[in-house]
Structure 1
Amino acid sequence: MKRLIATLRTMSSKKEQIDYIWEYYKLHIIGSISAIIFLGIMVGNIFDEEEKVFEVMVVSEASLSVIEQVEEDLSDHTFDAFTLFFEYIQHKGGKVEESAYQQMQKMSAALSVGQIDIIITDKALAKQLIEEDLFLPLSEVIDLNQINQEDYQLADFETNEIYGISTKNAAYLDAPTFDDTFILVPATSRNQEYVQEVIDVLLP
């Protein structure tokens, strides 16, 4: 700890300090957050029978007001078995803002415990997470033959499997910022049986 403090004191900016801590201690940080979230989920399951939540994580350049509009538009559509919930991380120019480091840590932890059921993000982040084996080929969770490929582009991200569906023409995702993002399914999703139902709503 003394060595870490001494090293941080030699750095001229808070951003440099954050980058250093994230680079060398991210596994400890993610592990700690994952453990806390896992314990919280376990305790919740033991003491409280809650309604299922299907979580959509949006990591894009869209503004908060755009995401709120999507949520408002979808609020009129009800699902019998679960509640649709949106989480949001904003980034610009393909780079996560300094203030979003904590949110990215949260995303990593949430992925590790199966809290996120769909991620909507751009090609660069999608490819990175696919290379880390964090997404499922879509053929394992939905019927790709039901996707109208004249309206919705399927993406393999330079692999031999289809991992993503373009949101360019997706209902409810009609803001320009969704023209270059894709729908993907984390391998850890705990609600894979409902993915088809949600995608049918987003891609009618």
Structure 2
Amino acid sequence: MDDLKQAYKTMGLEEFAPREEVEKRYTTLMKRERSRASSSAEGGSDFAQVTEAYRLILAYEDQKYKQAFNEQEYGKYKSMAGQAQKLDHFWRYYKFHTIGAIALIALIIYGIVSYVDHREHQKYLASLPPIDLDVSFMGLFMEQEESTLDDVNAAMLKSFPDWKRMQSNIIFVPGEDGNQYAYLQKAFVTVATEKPDIYIMDRFMFEWLGQQDILMKLEDIPELSEAAGSELGQKLKTQASPEEAVYGMDLTESQLFEDLPLMKDDLIVGIRVDAERPEKAIQFIKQYVDTNP
């Protein structure tokens, strides 16, 4: 403190004069020094002392400002003010580094959890019996309230005591909707990438799928030829075959319609031309054809 008082005295100022006066006084003394630049060395030595005093006063002012700022910002933390200040400074200078590190850690954790979940799901699938039939519902189909695809699979499976497992999915496509094109795009991608054994369709999707040349002719199958020749057989003209042929079986009046816990209007069943399990697909259709009134 004595050094500070001496600094004000050296500059010819009252103790603790305002910073503006300090700046103004130093500017005045500096101009005087320049005007006598050719004077004796003693004058230069005196100005060096003035400069040192000026720097000491500014350092004091800066420290006073910092203390006032810290008191305003961190005074509410009382005994923890020092730690709060350090934390604030750390966050101010390393905010983006910290956010990046947290994001990276979160990404790593997410990757690990996803990998573990995937492995567990694969173990679960490996523990299941082989799939007897893979079914894809396409069209205006929705699960009823509180029902799931597991319920749908169980409802179909009960008609086949020798089967252990059925798999199904629903591709919702409304018959008339402003966004129908988007739904059809999804259906097209699904048809191109997934290969179920049978499709269960409403009438709109039966006609649409028929144009994709992916349905098997049913009238050529001995077990289904009789039903194909009846009113149950649903005919189409396709791009590959301009002559009408039976590609679907109408099971709207069959037990299947009653069994399925789905919201639905029509049930037309067709077999995918490259089905992995065509024999069981035929058995499925034959089973429900025989339940028609």
Q: For this structure pair, what is the TM-score category when the shorter chain's length is used for normalisation?
A: 0.5 to 0.7
Say which SS state the counterpart of residue 143 (structure 1) adopts: helix
Task: Tell me by how many angstroms 1:82 deviates.
Answer: 5.8
Say which SS state the counterpart of residue 58 (structure 1) adopts: strand
Give the one of 246, 253, 270 matched to 1:169: 253
Give the one of 221, 227, 234 matched to 1:155: 234
- What's the counterpart of residue 185 of structure 1? 271
- What's the counterpart of residue 200 of structure 1? 286
Normalized per residue, the structure richer in helix is 2
Rate the CA distance shift 1:169–1:118 in 2: closer, same or farther, 3 A: same
- What's the counterpart of residue 76 of structure 1? 158
| 1:56 lines up with 2:135 in the alignment | yes
- What's the counterpart of residue 12 of structure 1? none
Q: Is the 8 A contact 1:121 1:182 kept in 2?
A: yes
Higher relative contact order by CA 8 Å / sep ≥ 6: 1 or 2? Answer: 1
Q: Is the 8 A contact 1:89 1:104 kept in 2?
A: no
Q: Give the partner amino acid of 2:211.
A: E
Rate the CA distance shift 1:88–1:201 in 2: closer, same or farther, 3 A: same
| 1:126 lines up with 2:206 in the alignment | yes
Task: Tell me by how many angstroms 1:83 deviates.
Answer: 2.5
Normalized per residue, the structure richer in strand is 1
Q: TM-score, normalised by structure 1?
A: 0.59
Q: Give the partner amino acid of 1:180.
A: D
Task: Tell me by how many angstroms 1:124 deviates.
Answer: 3.1
Say which SS state the counterpart of residue 183 (structure 1) adopts: strand
- What's the counterpart of residue 175 of structure 2? 93
Which runs of no fewer than 5 residues in structure 2 stay unpaired? 1-121, 238-242
User: Deviations along 1:72-99, whole A, 9 cap, x unmatched?
Assistant: 4224334536622221111223454857
- What's the counterpart of residue 190 of structure 2? 106
Task: Tell me by how many angstroms 1:192 deviates.
Answer: 0.8
Rate the CA distance shift 1:123–1:104 in 2: closer, same or farther, 3 A: same
Question: Matches of residues 15-30 of structure 1 in structure 2 within 5 Å?
Answer: none
Q: Is the 8 A contact 1:117 1:190 kept in 2?
A: yes
Rate the CA distance shift 1:116–1:146 in 2: closer, same or farther, 3 A: same
- What's the counterpart of residue 117 of structure 1? 197
- Computing the radius of gyration from Cα coordinates, the structure with the larger value is 2
Q: Is the 8 A contact 2:134 2:166 kept in 1?
A: yes
User: Deviations along 1:30-84, whole A, 9 cap, x unmatched?
Assistant: xxxxxxxxxxxxxx9xxx7961341111112122227745434224334536622
1:71 and 1:52 map into 2 onto residues whose CA distance is 11
1:187 and 1:145 map into 2 onto residues whose CA distance is 17
Rate the CA distance shift 1:87–1:177 in 2: closer, same or farther, 3 A: same
2:256 and 2:210 map into 1 onto residues whose CA distance is 25
1:73 and 1:101 map into 2 onto residues whose CA distance is 29
Say which SS state the counterpart of residue 195 (structure 1) adopts: helix
Rate the CA distance shift 1:188–1:91 in 2: closer, same or farther, 3 A: same
Q: CA RMSD for the aligned pairs?
A: 3.5
Rate the CA distance shift 1:177–1:64 in 2: closer, same or farther, 3 A: closer
Q: TM-score, normalised by structure 2?
A: 0.43
Say which SS state the counterpart of residue 52 (structure 1) adopts: coil
Q: Give the partner amino acid of 1:137.
A: K
Which runs of no fewer than 5 residues in structure 1 stay unpaired? 1-43
Say which SS state the counterpart of residue 162 (structure 1) adopts: strand
- What's the counterpart of residue 21 of structure 1? none
1:157 and 1:61 map into 2 onto residues whose CA distance is 20
- What's the counterpart of residue 69 of structure 2? none
1:134 and 1:100 map into 2 onto residues whose CA distance is 16
2:263 and 2:214 map into 1 onto residues whose CA distance is 24
Aligned-residue sequence identity (percent) comes to: 12
